Amino acid sequence: MRSLWSDEAAAAIVTHYGARDIGPDLALRVYTSRLLGGDPRLVLHGGGNTSLKAVAPDLAGVPVEALYIKGSGSDLATIEPAGLPAVRLAPLRELRARAALSDDDMARRLRAALVEPDAPNPSVETLLHAFLPHKFIDHTHAAAVLSLADQPDGALRIADLYGKQVGVVPYLMPGFGLAKKTAAIYDADPAVEGLVLLKHGVVSLGADAREAYERMIAIVAAAEAHLARGRRTVFVAAALPRSLAAPAEIAPILRGACALPDPERPGAYRHFVLDLRDGPAVRNFVDGAELRRYATAGVATPDHAIRTKYRPLIVPPPEAGRLDAFAAAARAAVASFVADYRAYFVRYDAGRGKRELDPAPRVALVPGIGLFGLARSARDAEIAADLAASWVKTVTDAEAIDRFESISEADAFEIEYWPLEQAKLGKAVEKPLAGKIAVVTGGAGTIGLATALAFSDAGAEIALFDRGGNNVAVAAEKLGGLGLVADVTDAAAVRAAFDRVAVAFGGVDIVLSNAGAAWQGKIGEVDDKILRQSFELNFFAHQYVAQNAVRIMLAQRTGGCLLFNVSKQAVSPGPNFGPYGLPKAATLALMRQYALEYGAAGIRANAVNADGIRGGLLTQAMIAERARAYGISEQQYMSRNLLGREVTAEDVAQAFLALALARSTTGAFYPVDGGNLAAAPR
Ligand code: ZN
């Protein structure tokens, strides 16, 4: 690790913010905060914090001595000056004389000291910055330093490596106590350049932005060099089955095993999205013979506990061809994880009446495969997996020199259930499809994309399948989802695409089989080839999609939702549309067959009969031609239904969303056509 400081970049940022009336100190505070935040070896996902002491005008314009400190909700990698709210320093420094200060009191005093009353909450580590005298202070949870600090004799190791350069602070929960202790240790030797907080992280001190930043880099680089010296093979591998099952086979089993029954909706589940990591470092870790010892030893730094929990789930390696055995073992492991978590809560809550968090694992380790991060969204699963991968590195390096040791389980509980820490996760109300994974075929088309947007707005993660590579990539990007090029008339391609979704997200809950195209021809004269082509896309493709969806849903054992886009042609044939209507009628029957045969597994199957959607199969040229044939305007043509209103792709999307949420509806054929009794199901 080396310093990324650049005089040119520093000057540029000073000029940039100078034009916005922001002084050079705060501009450089932003600059080095971003340098720290941009390196995952130092800071991950909103971790770490930085500060600056400077004179700031208060609301009345009177200059006051202030501490600019990272506010909650900011990420050092992308921080702006507004992400560093100013707090008055004098009232914070006075607090140091107190013997004790409750967390509530601390939080209220921090807010009261804000120069701007509506600024974000200052970091929970604000007092640590306030009680130290330096103008610039940087704090990270650097993985390499933690490998030395997370040891039974961490204090000795730090002292041996750094000598008088760095002070050593014993573990205390973040907050007032840690701030006081750190300041006292600093006062005992004010020559130090930084402080290592055992089992937590590292602080560097500087008179200017560059000094604090480069001291951080020097401390971390020394730890890295120490860990690289005389490196030995760390973990001896356990015996694994000769042939392992594929990640695509085991992810849905694991995901289903971790899903929690929804307390508000009997028969429904709260699902998690999975994020797999399987690089060499992770494999070396999860394949180790002593996995259970070092993997259950605890977190690398207390901050991780809210996203990873104190311990991960560990399941046995999955043998190829023996998925039932893996499923049984995974379910047993989850049941025991949940029971242990509940016991942990009762043990450490000790009657204080805290509200128990959900007991499902946030990290799962699978020997022979890798690690999975679990969360209620793909983004949060990615964060959990990133933190777990960093923890793997810290533990591996710690075990390479001696033995990894974390904070105690009791200390982890205090952090996991600390209201100030939980506040970092936010309190947004969850959306109805949070944690669900939806596949939409024909995903770049009008109806497919409108429905994918509706599912995404309702909280689902989205995978789009489409033939058009470019279109599907653009559409998926818009949704933050996965875009896959897949010809749905090719059974093997459909299987491969579903497997990619299972690896990317862990499984699938909702599938809209939407891809279709209209072939025409008078039925008595039409070429066989046309009819067969239409059957390939308008019937067999639906069967391939539904088959693969059901394959994954059955592995999850948490039900599922199949949706088919069926046309009015299925029940109300139009002249010359036989080649289109016949396979659509078969697809309507297909939907009912799935409803019948998989209802017992909780899998629902429903269809929408959409008609007259502009931009779907109905091209602008077709609309113009038919309006001319009827001798009416295009608008009149598009509104020929009982409601006299043009039906839109958004109407169809809302119907699919309603069916996805209708937990007691299966086998239904739902018209979205503005009213057309000739096409009404009967
Ligand atoms: Zn910290």
Give the SS3 label for residue 608.
Answer: strand
Calculate the alpha carbon distances from 445 to 476, 500, 646 in Å: 12, 21, 19
Same domain, 637 and 671: no
Supply the residues annotated as catalytic: 580
DSSP string, 530-592: HHHHHHIIIIIHHHHHHHHHHHHHHHHTS-EEEEEEEEGGGTS--TTBHHHHHHHHHHHHHHH
pLDDT cut 70: percent of the chain above it: 99
Quote the pTM value.
0.94
The CATH number of whichever domain residue 41 belongs to comes to 3.40.225.10
Q: Is residue 46 part of a domain?
A: yes
Q: Is residue 504 part of a domain?
A: yes
Domain span including residue 641? 615-646
- What is the reported pLDDT for 263? 82
Same domain, 447 and 514: yes
Q: Which pLDDT band, with edges at 50, 70 and 90, does 419 fall under?
A: confident
The CATH number of whichever domain residue 665 belongs to comes to 3.40.50.720
Q: How far is the CA of 281 from the centre of ligand 1 (A)?
A: 25
Q: How far apart are CA 319 and CA 329, in angstroms?
A: 12
Residue carrying structure tokens 């082509």: 533
How many domains is the chain partitioned into structurally?
4
Last residue of a domain, one of 392, 425, 458: 425
- Sign of the CA dihedral with 245 first, then 248, 252, and 255 last: positive
Contact 460, 452 (CB under 8 A): no
Q: How far is the CA of 490 from the centre of ligand 1 (A)?
A: 52
pLDDT at 233 over 90: no
Same domain, 273 and 402: yes
Same domain, 356 and 464: no
Q: How far is the CA of 174 from the centre of ligand 1 (A)?
A: 7
pLDDT at 267 over 90: no
DSSP string, 457-516: HTT-EEEEEES-HHHHHHHHHHHTSEEEE--TT-HHHHHHHHHHHHHHHS--SEEEE---
Contact 568, 581 (CB under 8 A): no
Q: How far is the CA of 140 from the centre of ligand 1 (A)?
A: 6
- What is the reported pLDDT for 418? 86
Q: Is residue 239 part of a domain?
A: no
Q: Which pLDDT band, with edges at 50, 70 and 90, does 47 fall under?
A: confident
Same domain, 134 and 70: yes
Same domain, 639 and 669: no
Q: What is the pLDDT of residues 570-592, one digit of tens each?
A: 899 989 999 999 999 999 999 99
Same domain, 454 and 418: no
Same domain, 559 and 606: yes
Q: How far is the CA of 173 from the centre of ligand 1 (A)?
A: 10
Q: How far is the CA of 125 from the centre of ligand 1 (A)?
A: 7
Q: Per residue in 495-508, is it b (16+ CB within 10 Å) or e — as a string?
A: bebbbbbbbbbbbb
Same domain, 392 and 323: yes
Same domain, 595 and 641: no
Longest Cα–Cα distance in the chain: 98
pLDDT at 248 over 70: yes
Query: Which range, of 13-17, 265-269, 317-321, 623-627, averages the lowest pLDDT?
Result: 265-269
Q: How far is the CA of 200 from the centre of ligand 1 (A)?
A: 6
- What is the reported pLDDT for 426? 65
Same domain, 95 and 181: yes
Q: In DSSP terms, which residues pair with 88 in a beta bridge?
A: 66
Q: How far is the CA of 564 from the centre of ligand 1 (A)?
A: 50
Q: Is residue 1 part of a domain?
A: no
Q: How far is the CA of 388 from the centre of ligand 1 (A)?
A: 17
Q: Is residue 432 part of a domain?
A: no
DSSP string, 181-217: HHHHHHHH-TT-SEEEETTTEEEEEESSHHHHHHHHH
In this prediction, residues 248-261 reach a mean pLDDT of 97
Same domain, 98 and 206: yes
- What is the reported pLDDT for 362? 98
Q: How far is the CA of 132 from the centre of ligand 1 (A)?
A: 15
